[in-house]
Chain A
Amino acid sequence: DTGVSQDPRHKITKRGQNVTFRCDPISEHNRLYWYRQTLGQGPEFLTYFQNEAQLEKSRLLSDRFSAERPKGSFSTLEIQHTEQGDSAMYLCASSAHRATHKNEQFFGPGTRLTVL
């Protein structure tokens, strides 16, 4: 399977715990994006990387959230001291950002987080 993969698919945690999600993009894609989606809403942008550089962060990304892409391949999204409001689907997408390319974003299956 050469699509975007995310792990875990589901995570249930207690309020105050830390959680970490992983995203593996399509292998030749140099851009990686994180979005958050709550029930009945469209995905909301959190942050994106070009290779290992984090180029943009949304104001939605509070200090409790941190994302990394250390070697320009997979990425992790960590949420510290989780709150019930963090319960959502966390989506990862990747694109091959080149001047002559369409730059479509392809999404993974998401990680569904439930904070009790």
Chain B
Amino acid sequence: QKEVEQDPGPLSVPEGAIVSLNCTYSNSAFQYFMWYRQYSRKGPELLMYTYSSGNKEDGRFTAQVDKSSKYISLFIRDSQPSDSATYLCAMSPNTGNQFYFGTGTSLTVIP
């Protein structure tokens, strides 16, 4: 079993829809949770960085962490065609060490 599980999709939604992306994990030591966006043939770009459980909002993006369920989510409101990319969740047990990534979910927002 992988430490981080993520549905690879693909996920296709109409412009303006609310998108929900999720990851589950098995290591209860994970405390730091990140979401990255990766366009084709580019490096990952950090979107959200959260510590422990709770919600964090940044513009159209909301990250949720439920440590009791070992489940994290990223919500994208008012999705745009420019949001079409692969979304990677990543997590770490402590600061500064390696990140454990999900496989990524491919998202297409249709105009």
Contact = CB atoms under 8 A, between A and B. Distances in A.
Interface stretch (B14-22, B41-49, B63-71, B77-85): B41-49
Interface residues of A, number: 29
A104 B97 CA distance: 10
B34 A104 contact: yes
B53 interface: no
Contacts of B36: 107
A33 B98 contact: yes
B46 A104 contact: yes
Interface string A91-115: 1000101000111111111101000
B88 interface: yes
Range class of the B interface residue count: 20 to 34
Interface string B1-30: 000101010000000000000000000000
Contacts, number: 62
Nearest to B34: A104
A106 B8 CA distance: 23
A91 B95 contact: no
B34 to A, nearest CB: 7
A112 B41 contact: yes
Contacts of B61: none
Interface of A: 4, 6, 31, 33, 40-45, 48, 50, 56, 58, 89, 91, 95, 97, 101-110, 112
